[in-house]
Every structure is written in structure tokens, then in C-alpha cells.
Structure 1
Amino acid sequence: MLKSAEELPDCFYYHNQPTLIPPHTPTPTHFLYLSNLDDQKFLRFSIKYLYLFRKSVSSDLLKLSLSRVLVDYYPLAGRLTTNSLNDNHKLLVDCNGQGAVFAEAFMDTTAHELLEFARRPSRSLRKLLYRVEAHSFLDIPPLVVQVTNLSCGGMILCTAINHCLCDGIGTSQFLHAWAHMTTKPNHDLPIAPFHCRHVLRPRDPPMTNYVHPGYTRNTLRDSNNIIKQYLESQPLVPSSITFTPPHILHLKRQCVPSLKCTTFETLATHAWRSWVRSLDLSPSLTVKLLFSVNVRQKLKPEMPEGYYGNGFVLGCAESSVKELLSSNLHYGVKLVQQAKSKLTDDYLRSMIDLLEDQTVITDIGSSLVISQWAKLGLEELDFGEGKPLHMGSLTTDIYCLFLPVAGNFDAVRVVVSVPESVVQKFEYFMNESVLESEDDDDKNLDAHAVV
């Protein structure tokens, strides 16, 4: 039983140490080159997913299917290393077949209780993923899995997948391949993974033909670091707000004069403005919105089907605080659209070339960074006992996430951590549109009632 709304009970591990799951059959042994998009400092962490299922799947079956899918996705069974032939610490994958980490546990609670608990992010959820003791990021295996069985017969599946090997599309592709191998072990994968990252090699010599505002030099002299310093000065509190189609439509109606805009463009702008408003920043400061954009079809030639490495870049919209907050939603949405329109093949090649300079880093010091997980099919994962009751992120410390809502394809859950002192203000600003749209619905109902 859950004792309180703040803390999960501890997991009981079936074994003191997890097992290593190597590929089922021998796989190629070589060093896998990682592109400049893979080898970015701000991606040196693992993407941690949490799935809650009503019915459990045999751990033995999951381990067997994992070993089989790792034959196809063999780099995930390897280990990260650096290129010893140069001094730039370029990351590589040592494809040595060492294996993925697989932990098994039990928790004395039910799927229903966990579903209620997981609706709001909590640091306590970290108990659901085995913590690998490591001296550095390089020492953590690229794939860590924990299966936790529940007292009701349900199951939690948590995965940590190294972001330098996969982006969101790639992780979804891998997880669906694993599920496919679990339910249809005698069938080929619907999408074969494409391993080679050389399609994103920089030009020789590198040519940076554009200004790339999403990046900065590795220096502390930028005045906008005041934002970063403020965010790091106090504990961050996770916040979660769900937007249903009526809420999103209400936001889009604020984009006047008439403006065609996507759900992502609208929600991203709304989250950005709410974040800036809650931080009470100086009107003269420049703030940025960095948001993930899939570029698999934007590069020429297009990247091959099955490419599971990092095939995204961060689009960058920027504005002064004063202009962003004094204008309506239309202004911010236009900035997002203009940032997307810049991402031509030549612009993207220039960005890849820029990253050859090891002093160039992503400008997260003055930015809200949004990662789009809502349309990747992550909530459709099925290992044979049905789709998840809940899909989310295990941690929310790093970026703002747009998550899918199980059972409601058109809804989006926005999760972001903000300073403890402003979390109420941020949620108020984010929820304004929700409350206004509900008021409009009530007025419409009253009008129909009068008629």
C-alpha cells in the first residue's frame, strides 16, 4: 500500500545484483562512430521511460526477447568510450556485446494506486529503476531495464536508454522492436535499424555559413547566465499540466490575427511565456525557446528508414522578455514558425559543422528546452498483455517534456521542473487557458439551456 502521496515504498529486488543480457547470437565487434548530433554535451544522459501495465509479462520472456532484439540493436549491448587517437574526447560505442542491465523487483502496491501516484511527477519514482553505481557517464551501460511486479498482478517497466545513441524516435523504434520480438518471435522486425552515423559527418573543411542562436561558446561571461544561476539557486519542483483538445483549441483561438498553427507550436509558445512570466525576469533580458525538430526528411539525401541515432536538432526562437510578454500568443508562435523554417539542408549542415568546435555548447543558460514525446507512439507499446495504463518520464529535472496521454491521442501532458518559489505561479499561468476554456464551455451550455 502507498503510505502517502509523497513517497513510494521501496522495491524488493529478487536478486542483489541485476543480470546482464547479451545478444542472443554473436554480433559485429567494432567501434561505432557517433555523429556530432549524437556527441553533444547536453545529451550525455539517459532517456528514462516509465510504463505501467495492468498485467505483467514473464520476466524470462522479456529477457529472452531482449536478448534477441539486441542482435539487431547490438550497439545498445556495447559500452561508450572515447577516441584515444585524438584529444577532443569524441565519443564512440565499443560494440563488444557485453549486454544490457536487467533488474527484477517487486513492490507491494497496485497498478491503480500507482496510476494515481504517477499523475504528478515525483522524485520517488526513481526507485523504480535500478541505479548503476558508476564513476562517470561513460561507465553506465547504454541500456538499463527494471521490471517491477506489483501485488495486483500488474507490472512497471522502466528503461534508461543513452541519449547519445538514440533520440526519441530511435528509442520508440527500439522499444516497439522489443515488444514485437516478445509477441512475434518468429517474425522479422517491421523496421530494420540503420546503425551507420556517417550520413551526418561534417564537411571537410567544415563550413559554418549561418548564425546559430541555439549555441554559445563555453564561457561564463554571458549576462543571460543570470537565468541559469537563478534556476540553480533553489530546489526544482516538478509540475504537470494536461491539455485536452478543447484546451488546445482555446489557445489556438488566441492566435489572432488568423494564424494557422500546430498544437506543438501553440503549446510550446504558451509554456515558454508561462515559464518566463513565472520567473519575473528583467524586461531587457533575451530569452530563448529551444525545441526538438526531427530532421530525418529535411536533409538531402533523406536519412535512411530505421535511423535510430539522433536525427533531431533544436530549433531556436528568441525574444526580449518585454516583447514576449507584452504581445499576444500570435507573436511567440510566429517566432517558433520562423525558427522551424530556417532548418534547410544547408542550415543543418552548417550546424553539424559548427559542432566540430568543442567549445561550442547548447545555450541552455537562457533557454527553456522542450522535447516532444507526444507523437512518437510511445503510449502504444504492447508486450502481449495490453497497452500501458500510463506512460511517462521517470525524471523531469532536465527539460520540459510534451508527453502522450494513454487513451487520449490528441491530449498532451506538459511536464517541467521549475524553482520551488515559482511553481504555483507557473501552474497558474499554464492553467489560465484551461480555466478560460472551461468557462467558455459553461457559457455555451448556459446559452443552449436558455434557447
Structure 2
Amino acid sequence: MASTNPLTFKVTRQNPELIPPVKPTPHEFKPLSDIDDQDGLRFQIPVIQFYRKNPTMDGKDPVKVIRDAVAKALVFYYPFAGRLREMAGRKLVVECTGEGVLFIEADADVRLQQLGDALQPPFPWLEELLYDVPGSGEVVNCPLLLIQVTRLRCGGFIFALRLNHTMSDAFGLFRFLSTVAELAHGAEIPSVLPVWQRHLLSARDPPRVSYVHHEYDNIPDTNKTLIPLDDMVQRSIFFGSAEISALRRRLSPHLRRCTTFELLTACIWRCRTIAISPNPDDEVRVMCLVNGRRLFNPPLPAGYYGNAFVIPVAISTAGNLCKQPLDFAVELVMKTKSEVTEEYIKSVADLMVIRGRPHFAFVRTYIVSDVTHAGIEDLDYGWGTAVYGGPAKGGVGVIPGLTSFYIPIKNNKGESGIVVPLCLPANAMEVFVKEFESMVKRHDDIDLSVTQKSSIFTRSARL
């Protein structure tokens, strides 16, 4: 990955090893849910955490601590130590073989401080910190987790992980990693025991689709609007209190009660559409990942670690979205989210079975996933909470470049906010930046100051 960041450093890796559970675990076959094994989730997702030196942990090796804790955690989360098999009807099933997860021990000749004041995607050295072991990245018949722990010269370390997304979403991954953290602190069992119960999100018998799910429309790319991967660059946008307040002031009073997620999604969707300049009559879409755990009656068990979200879609013509005030996009996003219920989620599971597990629509589509409440940045393996913890990059998925995450972070001034990695062609990114800056500046401002600009947009990198 090329980058404008000049920092280079050497990473020395040991040979990858398989870490099995420390105790024997059942050999059995466990089907994924019909939300888990849809086509659009059959990819690997990278997550990364950065930790400072902790003087109270002198003499403790983070590699050994985490390796041992992972092996203990796999006793409880033993499906992660197995391998996926594909059965009739493209159904994915975990064969709980106990083979283990891939683990890499590494050292880097760099200090955490050298990596920058504000650690956030894009990380130009990600491939060094999360080595793609050849042959390990397929969905079936491969390890379900790949972990690399890299010691730093300062005494800090980096914990990077690659997850087969069919197994868990961000909240499910947090459940596993929080168990690793608790066991690293000496606990014997996790405070929240894992719950498989994937049948709770599997199709009914007989299946019945009770909603119109435009998120799974089959849309031909007749106007060749898919963005070529070799032209894609990634930048991150920082939303602090000033940017969020400026956007809220643009809304009509009755809409200012909208959530931050709805506000940011409407803003980015609108700016992004202006930047890519589609035909004004073309439909454009934004898909919002909605966590369904609390929408069930009763709610899903606290230990449920499967995928439990759906992706309802808001649709507009490009012309309407770009010409109307921000109110228009906010209302569309709010309405789309409000439609999700327990019945909606069950309808999606039923659709998967009836239609052969289709991929979600991706033509002229943008996808947003809010992980600000997933808690990955708060995980403590003994060295304190992470300086940064969350997705390692945006644009992940079967169709690269379509997805952004909303990630909690502090910028280089120490201000808490949300960072959003965004992928666009280089020329479109320039248009996006100008449009976004015009939306977040105060009405009485002539222009953003150089300081404000530099705090909003971070370094860019080619995908």
C-alpha cells in the first residue's frame, strides 16, 4: 500500500503457528444462522489495537500473555478453532475440529510515538502488522481467526486480528476479545458466557418474506458506475463536536433530534454522491447496518456472538439527493432505520433461504457501519486500554471500497469524536473534501482555518 507517510520500519515475524484450545473441546457440526452466511458477509475483516508501554507490566511479554489467553478463550469459543464447510444450498456449517487459530509473533524496530499523534485509518503499514499468511484467507476450510501480536521498541505492542465475518459482527468479536482480556487478567471463566444459538436468526419453516427488501435488489451496472479499484484512495474524516454542531444547524428544528449516526450518514451520503457525479436520474443508495440484538422480544442473549444486524437501504435519485437540503437525506435515513423490527430481521433470514443467499445490491451504493459502541477500544489485556482500537481500514468487503465505519477516537488535539474512513477515486475525493468543508463550516465563517482543515482530514493512502 503506497502512502504519503514517509515512516518505514522493519517487522520481524516468527513462523505462523496454530493455537488450539488448551483443553479438549467437542467435535461437532454447528450451522451458522441465515443472517451469518449470506453472500455479502463472506469475507475477512481486519481489526487493530495499539497499546502503550505499562511499567507495571515490566517483565511480562504481551505475545505470551495474549497467546495463552487466546488458547484458554478457545475452550469457551471452540467454534473459532474449527473450520467452515459448505453444505447443500450453500449452507455454511462450522466443523468444530479444535485445530485452532493462526497466531503470529512479531517484533518491530519502531516506537509507538513514531507512528503518529493520532492513530487512525488508513494505516500505511497494515500489511506488516497483519501478515496475510498464504492460503489462509478463504472463507471455507481455513482458520477463522488470524492474530498477529507485534512488540514495539518502546515496550508497547500492536494486536492485529483478521476475522472471518460470517462468524461474528463487531459486537460478537468484542465478546470473544473481552474473554481473552479477562483470562489474561487471571479469570478462570468469562463474566459473560458465549451463546451459540444461531437458530434464533435462522429462517422459519416454512420461510415467509414479509417485507420488500430493496437491499437485495439485483441492479445491473448499465452505466458502468462501479469504481475501479486501482483508482481508489482512502482518507479519514474526523467529526468532532464542532463539525456535528455545524451540521445540526443546517437542519430544520424538528429534525435536530436525529441521532449522530443519522446526521453523519446523511451528510456523507450526500457529499459522496456529489463527488462521484452520477446521472441525476440514477438511483443512489445508502445502506445502514442496524444492530438487531435489542429488537427481539426477549432481546438476544448477552453472550450471542453471531452476526445480528441487517442492512436496510435508503434510496433517492442522485439529482434529488444533491439538490435538496440536508433535511431530505436525514429524513430518508431516519425512515429507513425505523422500519427495522424483529419481524424485519426474520424476513431477511427467510429471504436468504428462498433466494439462495443473495449478495446485497452494490451498484451506486454506499454502506455505513457504526462501531462506536462496540467497545473494542476499551479492551485491556493488562497494559491498559488501547490508544486506538477498531477496524483497520475502510472499504472492506466482497466489493472493496463501498463500506465506511464510524469509529470512536481522539484526534491529535485530544478531542473525542468519530473518525470515518472513506474510499473514493482520487479526483472524486478532492470534490468530496470541498463539499464536506462547505457543509461543516459555520455560516459566518469565510473559510475553514488551516488548523481546522488539518484536524478534519487525515493522510490518504491508495487501497
Q: TM-score, normalised by structure 2?
A: 0.87
The equivalent of 1:199 in structure 2 is 200
Match of 1:181 among 174, 180, 183: 183
The Cα of 1:124 is off from its aligned counterpart by 3.0
The Cα of 1:6 is off from its aligned counterpart by 4.5
The equivalent of 1:221 in structure 2 is 220
Question: Partners of 1:70 and 1:440 in 2: how far apart?
Answer: 57
Question: Partners of 1:110 and 1:50 in 2: how far apart?
Answer: 16
Question: Partners of 2:168 and 2:444 in 1: how far apart?
Answer: 39
Match of 1:412 among 415, 418, 428: 418
In structure 1, runs of 5+ residues without a counterpart are 444-451
Question: Partners of 2:142 and 2:425 in 1: how far apart?
Answer: 29
Question: Partners of 1:300 and 1:292 in 2: how far apart?
Answer: 20
The equivalent of 2:461 in structure 1 is none
Question: Partners of 1:104 and 1:121 in 2: how far apart?
Answer: 23
Q: Give the direction of change, closer, same or farther, for the CA distance of 1:222–1:121 in structure 2 (3 Å limit).
A: closer
Q: Structure 1 runs of 4+ off > 6 angstroms?
A: 440-443
- Tell me, yes or no, if the aligned pair for 1:379 and 1:406 is still in contact at 8 Å: no
Q: Give the direction of change, closer, same or farther, for the CA distance of 1:438–1:389 in structure 2 (3 Å limit).
A: farther
Query: May I ask how many residue pairs the two structures share in their alignment?
Result: 430
Q: Give the direction of change, closer, same or farther, for the CA distance of 1:304–1:281 in structure 2 (3 Å limit).
A: same
Report the 3-state secondary structure (helix = DSSP H, G, I; strand = E; otherwise coil) of the residue aligned with 2:116.
helix
**AA of the residue aligned to 2:324:** S
- Tell me, yes or no, if the aligned pair for 1:65 and 1:182 is still in contact at 8 Å: yes
The Cα of 1:44 is off from its aligned counterpart by 1.2
Indicate yes or no: 2:92 matched with 1:91: yes
Stretch moving more, 158-167 or 247-256:
247-256
Match of 1:63 among 40, 47, 67: 67
Show the 5 A alignment for 1:84-123. 86=88, 88-116=89-117, 118-123=119-124
Which structure has more relative contact order (CA 8 Å, sep 6+)? It is: 2
Question: Partners of 1:442 and 1:90 in 2: how far apart?
Answer: 52
Question: Partners of 2:250 and 2:53 in 1: how far apart?
Answer: 43
The equivalent of 2:22 in structure 1 is 24
Report the 3-state secondary structure (helix = DSSP H, G, I; strand = E; otherwise coil) of the residue aligned with 2:212.
coil
The equivalent of 1:78 in structure 2 is 82
The equivalent of 1:426 in structure 2 is 432
- Tell me, yes or no, if the aligned pair for 1:52 and 1:157 is still in contact at 8 Å: yes
- Tell me, yes or no, if the aligned pair for 2:213 and 2:312 is still in contact at 8 Å: no
**AA of the residue aligned to 2:85:** T
**AA of the residue aligned to 2:145:** L
- Tell me, yes or no, if the aligned pair for 1:206 and 1:354 is still in contact at 8 Å: yes
The equivalent of 2:247 in structure 1 is 251
The equivalent of 1:146 in structure 2 is 148
**AA of the residue aligned to 1:375:** H
Deviations 1:220-241 (A, max 9, x none): 7354x6322xx12642111101
The Cα of 1:344 is off from its aligned counterpart by 2.0
The equivalent of 2:323 in structure 1 is 326
Identity %: 32
Question: Partners of 1:209 and 1:390 in 2: how far apart?
Answer: 41
Match of 1:355 among 352, 356, 362: 352
Cα RMSD after superposing both structures: 2.4
Q: Give the direction of change, closer, same or farther, for the CA distance of 1:300–1:392 in structure 2 (3 Å limit).
A: closer
Q: Give the direction of change, closer, same or farther, for the CA distance of 1:409–1:98 in structure 2 (3 Å limit).
A: farther
Q: Give the direction of change, closer, same or farther, for the CA distance of 1:430–1:441 in structure 2 (3 Å limit).
A: closer
Deviations 1:65-119 (A, max 9, x none): 1111111111111111111xx2x22111111111111101111111011134844
The equivalent of 1:131 in structure 2 is 132
**AA of the residue aligned to 1:31:** F
